[in-house]
Copies of this chain bind each other. A is one copy, B any other.
């Protein structure tokens, strides 16, 4: 099916919501088109990679609060789709607040258990001097002007959790979910519909941390190592909504791939890296060229190993869950090798430990060079 006609058909389905979805048979060729929903608390290179990948159908971009409030993440997603010239892809708005955690609770938690290095939308100051700029602190319903320009595209009227439920019912066993933010939407979807996870094809998520180590020598990599140096099991996406992460991990997925912090410490969105991958003169490359933030490539690794699982160099099959007790290690990743797990819902996940960085870089460069 040609892209143009597919686009129109898809938009019609989406506008009609679940009614048409329920009676229209799958129109995607499973042999060629892999279906995916990308859920995230922002929008950047990872989404563009998936949007530009051949034989991939992005069913929707879902948003959630985390690094940004959901409304701001939504604005980035809309603008990101405009830049990618993919206005056919719906942006579905997800949860504004985590299930149990909150900014107030986090203040009190920090008083008892120490300062967090990164708090996303709740961040008012760095504890230590940091080369990263402090994002503007604002209320949940404020959307500051975006550096990429503000979008004119509007989000879907459908809620992210409802959208994801509808999609897995419409394409049972075919929809991958790439989660690169807190798992609030996934937990809501699972509790709204206990069949949700079992109807998806797989969950690939960036989140959590096992035993990462600083591997680069740049000032930025030393500063990002602050996030795991004294808390090897803590990572922001999971820590922002620990209960949602535990609910999601205990849901009956066919397959879960975890991309923790561990493989990211070999990567950096450095000026040199950006210059190389964004050499082409495409709209996306023009933005990426200006985006040397020295971040590890967290979400990009998740997108990359979903697009090409052969990029995984080493991995471990571990039972994984999250500490949801409101103590010093609230939100920490718990993991067990076979035989040690408690069997209270935790499941085996394929945990990515290292990846083929040069080949991932080549993949990114190739994808964002596409017109």
Chain A positions near chain B (C-beta within 8 angstroms): 110-115, 117, 127-128, 210-211, 213, 226, 229-230, 232-233, 318, 321, 323, 325, 327-329, 332, 334-337, 339-342, 344
Contact = CB atoms under 8 A, between A and B. Distances in A.
Nearest to A346: B114
B128 A339 contact: yes
Contacts of A128: 337, 339
Contact of A325 (B115, B226, B328, B334): B328
Contact of A211 (B117, B213, B328, B339): B213
A335 B339 CA distance: 29
Nearest to A335: B230
Given A323-B327, A327-B323, A230 B115 contact: no
Contact of A230 (B110, B226, B337): B337
A332 B329 contact: yes
Contacts of A327: 323, 325, 327, 329
Nearest to A228: B211
A134 to B, nearest CB: 16
A336 B115 CA distance: 9
Nearest to A113: B342
A226 B342 CA distance: 16
A344 B112 contact: yes
Given A329-B329, A334-B328, A340 B112 contact: no
Contacts of A213: 211, 213
Nearest to A344: B112
B339 A329 contact: no
